[in-house]
Amino acid sequence: MSITNEAYFSPSDLPQKKIIEYLQQAQQQLRICVFTISDNMITEAIVRCARKGIPVQIVTDNDKTFDKGSDIWVLAKEGGIEIKVDMTDNHMHHKFALIDDLYLITGSYNWTRSAAYYNHENIFMTNDAQSIQLFQKEFEKLWGNLTAYEVFMQKKH
């Protein structure tokens, strides 16, 4: 298989549209590791994947969970979506997603409306197996070390 690379830049809605396009290609698994999610259109695409029976795992940062506009609580109440939260004093600041372990989305692009319409950010998509493997290892490491959303919420109340 030949390697395909794509890059998109904001401010523009093209990165947002490309993220949604790639998410909609998921058939077996969706693993997302992002600092925050507050773009409702991206959230809706993630929910559609879960409702199609595609297992979704999300890693996010605790400090952004309660921000105005954060969609983490929407995703947490949806069946088929598991969420883990970084509860350290530091930030889990990654921004990447693995789609069926066939595609990688990464870059500075936050999954927010501000990223689409105001900020200078980027996303990079690739099907390069070596790059995907490196990000798989990082996701699995975080997934194994972070706190389940439900436990995080119990500790907050």
3-state secondary structure 43-77: HHHHHHHHHCCCCEEEEEEHHHHCCCCCCHHHHHC
Helix (H, G, I), strand (E, B) or coil at 23: helix
CA–centroid distance for 124 within its chain = 13
* 29 CB neighbour count, 10 Å cutoff: 15
Q: Which residues are catalytic?
A: 93, 95, 100
Rounded to whole angstroms, what are the CA distances from 5 to 18, 25, 38? 13, 16, 26
